[in-house]
Each structure stands twice: as C-alpha cells, then as structure tokens.
Structure 1
Amino acid sequence: MTSEATNTVTDQATGPLAGLLNALADGAVEIVDLTNRLSSETPTLRLPEPFANLIDFSLETVSEYDEPGPFWKHQNIHTGEHIGTHIDAPAHWVTGRHSHDVADIPLPRLIGPAVVLDFTAEAAADPDFLLEVEHVRAWEKQHGPLPEGGWVLYRTGWDAFAQDREKFLNTDEDGSHTPGVSSECAQWLSETGIAGFGVETVGIDAGNAGALDPIFPVHYYLLGADKYGLTSLQNVSQLPTRGAMLIVAPLPIVGGTGSPARVLALVPRRS
C-alpha cells in the first residue's frame, strides 16, 4: 500500500483504531472468515422423532427485474434460527430461559480474544471423542489460561465435511457420531470466565450427547451460565493457538434464541 493510502486510513480514525486500520490496510493483520456459506444445501441438525426440526434455509424470489420489480431483484428468506454457522443465545436452552435472547447479548461479549484447542487427531481416530477436563488442563499447561471474556474454539477437523450432509452428520442406526464435550468438562467450562465456545460440528454438543447426563451438557451448562455457542465454523485451522480476535455478528432478532451469524477472526499476518 502507498504511503498516501496509508495516511488516508490514518486520517479516518485516531488512536488505537488508526493502528488497527493501518494494520488491516498493510496486511499486518489479516481477516479469516470462519463462516460456512449459507444455502439450501447447508447441512443442518436433524433431531430424531418425536422432536421437531427447524426448516432448512431457502430463498423465495419476489421480483427479478420484471413486472413486480422492473429495476431490482429481491427475495424472502426462509430459515430456522439455528441453521449453518450460527450463535446459540442462552434463551435457547431451558437452563438459560430467563437470560439473554440473541438481540440482548451484550456487544462486548461478541468481540474478544480467541484460543484454539486442537483435537483433530483424536476426532479422526474416534468420531465420538469427548473433550475432558484433563485435556483442557493439559492444554493450559502448555499454552496458558483460557481467555477471560474470550472464546474457546474447539478444532476437530470436522469442517472438512461441511459441504457433505451425510459425512457432516455421520448418522447410523445408533445415532449421530460427531465429537463433542463430556458432561464434566461442559460444567467445568461453564464455571470459567470465557464468553463462549465454538465448534466445527453442526451443534455445540456431541452427536451422541442425548445419551449423556444431563442430555446435551454444553447447552445445559454453558447456556445456563450466560455463555454462548458457535457452530459450523470453518477455517479454524488458519488461526493461531493464541492471538486471534473473534468478531461475531448475529442478527439482533428480538426474542430470538439464536441466529445465523458471520464470524470473522483478525489474526497477525501469517508467514
């Protein structure tokens, strides 16, 4: 970038913001998109009977440069709240029913530091792998504490299947087999100072979490502790173990229990 362009960026903000804008402009800070593309083909959660499922994402054309709208194209969106890359608000679960809906999540909780816990090898060896407290403690011993007010991103390599519904859900006669978190670890994480927990799988709980006690313990404990979940993340492999800043941008749906979200990470320039 030319010095003239850099000066223009600097002129638009002062103090720390100028530094950040300059770092973005000259590539010292890069933006990584952690969001799965949203379409009717996006894999979505499938609950077994008798539970009801949300509708998949779809678009309905209202006009397309024709008589209903000769100079424009616009469409209606049809979707469930918890579709694709999305945030779970505390109100999504019975334990958080009196806490924040998605429109009321405090903004500082949506921007913060992020760390990556990499358990791709374990998930590749066992799709039902569950993260335990001792795994997190061992990670902390090597990499430092979980970030206060920040996000824990649980990397399992599952984003490799994000465009293949069958592999992504990995369902057989015994249910869905995707990695997750044990009940003990979910409770332990809920007692830390993190803002939220993000995963590459279709939900913040393991595919077989209905067999755990309590059922769906990440939902039960973290949402009950006014923390938030992120699902179906992509490109977590491009983030450093520490040092990324996460930006989560859901729709502020009044009364909403969740929302599709654009999730971005700011990271130092990779060599």
Structure 2
Amino acid sequence: MPSIHFNRIVNLSHPIHPDIALWPNDPPVVFKTEASLEKDGYHLRSFSMGEHSATHMNAPNSFDAGAMGIDGYTAESLVRPAVVVDLASRVGDESDYIIGIQDIERWEQAHGRIPEGCVVLFHTGWQSRWADPQRFIQVDAHGPHFPGVGAATSRFLLEQRAIAGIGIDTHGVDPGQETTFASNRGVLQRGGIILECLAQLDQLPATGCTLVIGVLRLEAGSGSPASVLAFVP
C-alpha cells in the first residue's frame, strides 16, 4: 500500500490578500465582510479572485474549450513525487531566462535521471520577489518578463522523461515573453499538472519530496488557487 515517509512538511503556497501580484488585466482579489461578531454573532467573509491568481494550478480547458476542467483531476493525480531543479544562482536577475535542456542535463549529472511520473519544480529565485508585484511580473510595453521553461525543454521532459507536470516560482511555467504558452499547452494536453507562483522551493531537497496538491473543485474551472504541501523525507 502506498505511503508517504517524511520528517517535515513545507507549505509551497503564498498567503492570499488584495495586494498580491496579478497577471495583467486579471480581476483583483477582493474580500468583503458579510457577517460580523458584533452584529451577527459570527464572522464571515466572501472573496473573489481570478482562477489563475496566487499560488495556483491550471486546467486543460485553459487553452482548449472541450478539455477537462480543474474538477476533473482525480485525488490520486494530485499526490505526486517531485524533484527540484534549483536554478536561482544561474538565473540571477536575468528576467528573460529560458530554462533549456542543458539545465536538465546538468541537473541529471548531479542527481540522476528524472523519474517518470514526477512533477518537476523549478526554483528560479523569483519567489523572493513575490512581495513586490512590479518586480515579480515586470510588465513593460512588450509584456511580462520573468524566467520560464522553454518549449523544447518541456517537450523533452514530457516525451523523454514522462513527467506528470511542471511547477515554478514565477507567474508562469512559460517565459514571460512566450505568447503561445507552449509549455503550459504541452503539459495540459496530456492532463498533467501545472503549478505557478510557488513559494519556499529553496526549502526542498533536489529529490525525495512528495507533493499533496489541494484545489477548489470549481465546476469546469480553468484553474484554482492551490494549497501545495511538500512532504520532505
């Protein structure tokens, strides 16, 4: 019977509040008090936000109208082994860094072949910019600027390593200047996992973690804010 062995648990999700970094033109995060202790005897808020805001998971119907929504992922598919490719020192402040196959090969030389069925998490160092939305997304006349996974790299991981998905600490697994969303599309066409705006990836080892991904089962949702926990051996 499958089991998870761990010594500690790391929360990979950022707290949600109205001032978080948002994709250009996405709806704001809004909290509204609906009931108060003083007036109603209990405290209750409503909230609204985009399906792809904060730490979140995308669904296949993000790019394909006939595809599965976020509510279609099975419970089993949301518990996955993970590896962490730490590129923070290599990326530095290079906001248009494209993660290449050579980055994967370099990681495998140190840690061995990426196993089938895992989620590959990319630590670019961008998580440290989360509190400063302008530096996190860096939008100018040419659009957003942040590191991401090149199309050839995601294709290599899917076809040659049979991974289950990709996660990253930026606002998109695709580079900010990538307008076709090739890495997103490639993973989601296979019903895989896409995690974006992850936190605390620097707290994880290169191998051995298990992810438990909690999503809101929004009917036909194109994605959902996610509570992502890493069980560290």
Q: Which TM-score band applies after superposition, normalised by the shorter structure? A: over 0.9
Alignment match, 1:58: 30
The one-letter amino acid paired with 2:145 is H
Counterpart Cα distance in 2 of 1:159 and 1:204:
13
The reply to whether residue 107 of structure 1 matches residue 75 of structure 2 is yes
Report if the CA contact (8 A) 1:170-1:178 is conserved: yes
Cα deviation code 1:150-202 (max 9, x no counterpart): 21001100000011111101223333221012221122223242221100011
Q: 2:42 aligns to what SS in structure 1? A: strand
Residue number in structure 1 paired with 2:174: 205
- Which stretches in structure 2 are left out of the alignment for 5+ residues? none
**How many Å apart are 1:264 and its aligned residue?**
0.5
Structure possessing the higher relative contact order (Cα contacts under 8 Å, 6 or more residues apart)? 2
Paired residue secondary structure (1:252): coil
Runs ≥4 residues deviating over 4 A: none
Q: Residues of 1 paired with 2:78 and 2:181: CA distance?
A: 23
Which is further off, 200-209 or 169-178? 169-178
Residues 1:220 and 2:185 aligned together: yes
Structure 1 gaps of 5+ residues are 1-14, 47-52
- TM-fit CA distance, 1:57: 1.4
- Give the residue type in structure 2 aligned to 1:246: L
* Structure whose residues are more often helix by fraction: 1
- Are residue 88 (structure 1) and residue 58 (structure 2) matched? yes
Distance 1:32 1:184 in 2: 30
Assess if the C-alpha contact under 8 Å between 2:119 and 2:193 holds in 1. no
Deviation at 1:146, TM superposition (A): 1.9
Distance 1:123 1:137 in 2: 16
Change over 3 Å in CA distance of 1:118–1:205 after alignment to 2:
same
8 Å contact kept, 2:69–2:220? yes
Identity across matched positions, percent: 30
Count of aligned pairs: 232
Deviation by residue 1:219-242 (Cα, 9 ceiling, x = unmatched): 221112221210111100000000
Asked if 1:150 corresponds to 2:118, the answer is: yes
Secondary structure (helix, strand or coil) at the match of 1:254 reads coil
Q: Structure 2 matches for 1:134-149, cutoff 5 A?
A: 134-149=102-117
TM-score by structure 2 length? 0.93
Are the equivalent residues in 2 in contact too, given 1:196–1:228 (CA < 8 A)? yes
Is structure 2 residue 152 aligned with structure 1 residue 174?
no
Report SS of the residue matched to 1:219: helix
Matched with 1:41 is 19
Q: Are 1:45 and 1:203, in contact at CA under 8 Å, matched by a contact in 2?
A: no
Report if aligned partners of 1:190, 1:227 keep a CA contact under 8 Å in 2. Answer: no
Deviation at 1:35, TM superposition (A): 0.4
CA distance 1:125–1:57, shift in 2 (3 Å): closer
Give 1:127-138 correspondences, 5 Å limit: 127-138=95-106
Please give the secondary structure, in 1, of the residue aligned with 2:117.
coil
CA distance in 1, matches of 2:138, 2:2: 45
1:199–1:230 contact (8 Å) kept in structure 2 = yes
- Secondary structure at the aligned position of 2:120 is classed as strand
Structure 2 CA distance for aligned equivalents of residues 92 and 176 of structure 1:
19
Name the aligned partner's letter for residue 199 of structure 1. I
Larger Rg: 1
What SS does the aligned partner of 1:59 have?
strand
- Which residue of structure 2 aligns with residue 236 of structure 1? 201
Say yes or no: does 1:79 pair with 2:49: yes
When the two chains are superposed, the root-mean-square deviation of aligned CA atoms in Å is 1.8
Deviations 1:59-101 (A, max 9, x none): 111111243x2x101111111111100001112113xx43321
Shift of 1:125: 4.8
CA distance in 1, matches of 2:93, 2:30: 35
- Measure, in 1, the Cα distance between the counterparts of 2:90 and 2:181: 21
**TM-score, with length taken from structure 1:** 0.80
